[in-house]
Chains A and B, each alone.
Chain A
Amino acid sequence: DVKVTQSSRYLVKRTGEKVFLECVQDMDHENMFWYRQDPGLGLRLIYFSYDVKMKEKGDIPEGYSVSREKKERFSLILESASTNQTSMYLCASATDFGNTIYFGEGSWLTVV
């Protein structure tokens, strides 16, 4: 059974804290993605990676960075969390967009 696993389901962090969201996939996919989902706005792409150590900005990269040191792991980093980063974060992976995309269960982040 294919799997995209996000390490934390629910987090509460303080403003200014550094936050790490981890995502691991077991399908040997090249492409991995971080999205955030907010009511009325749908899913928006933060960053994606098409290979180890390769990354590209998505539509809303400001305030975020990413790391992909190994093929199976893609981390999203909030250098200094702010309240407007309170959201649900989804990780996904795919071989390419001719094929199925797989999502993690989501991480609910609240910044207070």
Chain B
Amino acid sequence: KNEVEQSPQNLTAQEGEFITINCSYSVGISALHWLQQHPGGGIVSLFMLSSGKKKHGRLIATINIQEKHSSLHITASHPRDSAVYICAVPHFGNEKLTFGTGTRLTIIP
């Protein structure tokens, strides 16, 4: 069993739809990262959160530490949101991140 699992692996939606991507983890964490990777490779950090909820524009990230689960939501999705979304968790006591394998999101106009 992977230490960090994301679902779904692939998601296609129409422009304007509400999007949810889930991340479940089995390792202990101090903070969880949500990352965005566009075609071409570069990765951008969207959120780092250790409790509750964070919002940035149309993006909302939530985390439930007890249930070891986080979600990334996108409201009013747009084709430019098409990307791979990756969650990553650090291990207690060291600087290593374990990554999920990513969710490929495609928003159709």
Which residues in A have some Cβ–Cβ distance to B below 8 Å? 31, 33, 37, 40-45, 48, 50, 58-59, 88, 90, 92, 94, 96-106, 108
Q: Which of A45, A97, A103 has the most CB of B within 10 A?
A: A97
- Return chain B residues, CB-CB under 8 Å to A50: 95
- Say yes or no: A100-B48 contact (C-beta < 8 A), given A42-B101, A88-B41: yes
Known pairs A42-B102, A43-B86; A101 contacts B45 (CB<8 A): yes
Q: What is the bound-complex CA distance between A104 and B99, given in angstroms?
A: 17
Q: In the complex, A110→B76 CA distance in Å?
A: 39
Q: Name the one of A41, A101, A106 contacting B42, with C-beta atoms under 8 angstroms.
A: A106
Proximity string of chain B (30-55) to chain A, C-beta cutoff 8 Å, 1 when within and 0 when not: 11010100001111110010100000
B residues near A (Cβ < 8 Å) are 30-31, 33, 35, 40-45, 48, 50, 86, 88, 90, 95-97, 99-102
Q: Judge whether B41 and A97 touch: CB under 8 Å.
A: no
Most chain B beta-carbon contacts within 10 A, residue among A31, A37, A41, A58: A37
Q: A97 to chain B: closest CB distance in Å? A: 4
Within the assembled complex, what's the spacing in Å between the Cα atoms of A43 and B27?
16
**Distance in angstroms between the alpha carbons of A45 and B97 in the assembled complex:** 8
Measured in the bound complex, the distance between the Cα atoms of B44 and A104 in whole Å is 9
- Closest 5 pairs between A and B when the two form their complex, measured CB to CB: A106-B41, A103-B43, A42-B101, A105-B42, A97-B90
B75 to chain A, nearest CB (A): 22
Residue from the list B40, B42, B95 in contact with A97, Cβ < 8 A: B95
Report yes or no: A48 in contact with B41, Cβ–Cβ below 8 A: no
Q: What are 27 A-B contacts with C-beta separation under 8 Å?
A: A31-B95, A42-B99, A42-B100, A42-B102, A43-B97, A44-B99, A45-B96, A45-B97, A48-B95, A50-B95, A58-B96, A90-B43, A94-B95, A97-B31, A97-B90, A97-B95, A97-B97, A98-B50, A99-B48, A101-B33, A101-B48, A103-B44, A103-B45, A105-B42, A106-B41, A106-B42, A106-B43
